[in-house]
Amino acid sequence: MKWYLKVINDFKDFSGRARRKEYWMFVLFNILFGAVAAGLDDILGLYNYEYGSGPINAIYGLILLIPSIAVAVRRLHDIGKSGWMLLVVFIPLIGVIWLIVLFAREGELGANQYGPNPKEELIL
């Protein structure tokens, strides 16, 4: 949960680096909370089957749009890639798969052009 809150608190920080653990824990909690929001929409009768969402889930998604992009950019920085590499997601099917592969890679050892290694900061 602390990783999720860290990403929420750093929502405007597109610089620096994010560890794999930070990114994937955020993704995990985001999926869980999104499922709860969708469940609330369904229980309250607000779920729209035509659109595949309800207002609670849509608002939750909009609130987390910027933090999600920010942590993804920082994750790309950790492996030495530019945040613009996130645009590869617009290549159908292959783009999403390639981003998952990039997000799963271990970060560069030592400092890179985007900042110090976040793993090394924890050791100090």
- Domain residues for the domain of 40 are 2-123
Confidence of residue 110 (pLDDT cuts 50, 70, 90): confident
CA distance 43 to 35: 12
> What per-residue confidence (pLDDT) applies to 123?
55
The 10s digit of each residue's pLDDT in 21-62 is 999 999 999 999 999 999 999 999 888 888 878 999 999 999
CB 83 within 8 A of CB 114: no
Domain count, the chain: 1
- Please give the single-letter amino acid code of residue 35: A
> What per-residue confidence (pLDDT) applies to 122?
59
The 10s digit of each residue's pLDDT in 57-106 is 999 999 999 999 999 999 999 999 999 999 999 999 999 999 999 999 99
Tracing tokens 């920010």 back to the chain, one arrives at 70
Q: Say whether pLDDT at 17 is over 70.
A: yes
CA distance 61 to 63: 5
